[in-house]
């Protein structure tokens, strides 16, 4: 089974995990706030039945959070590259909730995509991190870490559509389905090896990467061989 990974939106860097979590808590809070006393009745308010509870205002939006715990241990890493300090493994994930200097000059936490197989591909910010360190050496170096993360879903700012020369990405060749239907074929490298970018460029909707993955029988849609031609399914939607 494909392991959990974090993909940095701005750079394409992939931070892999050693083991998958045993559970994942998904928490949703609606965009509701209590109306202040004396503030009057505002449009969009939801009245409580019988006046027994505070009137609430529906502000729209809301928050979706993921609570996950990951295990890291130096003994589970590749013997040729592993460090004796488990913090060398967890540090890149920990840094996601630190203020960072971004390419546009802004500072703040880094947007990453929480990826787990074909079922989870969610743009998130690491809202909080807590690390429980174990198995200390005589020098006080930890070799095991239980890393608990609070992830908050965000509206990802996708990179600009990949381009071929000065024009937006366009199909390079044509092929046919078994039924003889003409389809487009592009090089995986035009989508930077990522099907969500390719779907965003071709369909205007990055979430449609699953259609491309299924159409090409891809087992790992997040790691595409750049030399492989990608067949684009017929556009049935807008």
For the stretch 123-152, pLDDT in tens is 898 999 999 999 999 999 999 999 999 999
- Whether residues 18 and 125 share a domain: the answer is yes
Domain stops at, among 130, 153, 176: 153
- Whether residues 14 and 120 share a domain: the answer is yes
- Whether residues 20 and 72 share a domain: the answer is yes
Rounded to 5 degrees, φ, ψ at 121 are: -150, 85
Say if 34 falls within a structural domain: no
- Whether residues 83 and 123 share a domain: the answer is yes
| CB proximity list for 67: less than 8 A, separation 6 or greater | 24, 25, 26, 27, 148, 149, 150, 151
DSSP assignments along 99-132, one per residue: -EE-TTS-EEPPPEEEEETTTEEEEEEEEEEEEE
For the stretch 159-191, pLDDT in tens is 433 333 333 344 444 555 555 455 556 655 444
Rounded to 5 degrees, φ, ψ at 110 are: -100, 130
Give the pLDDT band (50/70/90) at residue 41. very low
Domain stops at, among 153, 182, 200: 153
Given a cut of 60, is residue 80 above it in pLDDT?
yes
- Whether residues 72 and 176 share a domain: the answer is no
How many domains does the chain contain in total? 2
Say if 55 falls within a structural domain: no
The predicted model scores a pTM of 0.58
Residue 40: strand, helix, or coil: coil
Name the token pair of 83. 């460090």
């Amino acid at each position: 089974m494909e392991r959990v990974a974090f993909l940095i939106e701005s750079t394409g860097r992939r931070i892999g995990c050693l083991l998958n979590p045993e559970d994942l808590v998904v928490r949703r809070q609606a965009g509701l706030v209590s109306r202040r006393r004396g503030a009057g009745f505002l449009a969009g308010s939801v009245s409580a039945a019988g006046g027994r509870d505070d009137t609430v205002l529906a502000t729209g939006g809301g928050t979706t959070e993921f609570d996950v715990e990951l295990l890291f241990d130096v003994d589970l890493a590749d013997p040729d590259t592993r460090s004796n300090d488990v913090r060398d493994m967890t540090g890149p994930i920990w840094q996601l909730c630190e203020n960072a200097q971004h390419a546009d000059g802004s500072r703040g936490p880094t947007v990453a995509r929480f990826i787990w197989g074909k079922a989870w591909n969610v743009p998130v910010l690491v809202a909080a991190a807590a690390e429980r360190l174990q198995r200390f050496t005589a020098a006080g170096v930890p070799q095991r870490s239980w890393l608990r993360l609070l992830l908050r879903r965000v509206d990802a700012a996708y990179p600009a559509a990949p381009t071929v020369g000065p024009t937006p990405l366009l199909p390079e060749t044509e092929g046919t389905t078994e039924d003889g239907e003409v389809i487009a074929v592009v090089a995986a490298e035009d989508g930077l090896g990522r099907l969500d970018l390719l779907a965003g460029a071709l369909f205007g909707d990055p979430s449609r990467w699953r259609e491309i993955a299924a159409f090409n029988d891809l087992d790992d849609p997040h790691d595409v061989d750049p030399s492989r031609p990608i067949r684009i399914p017929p556009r049935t939607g807008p």
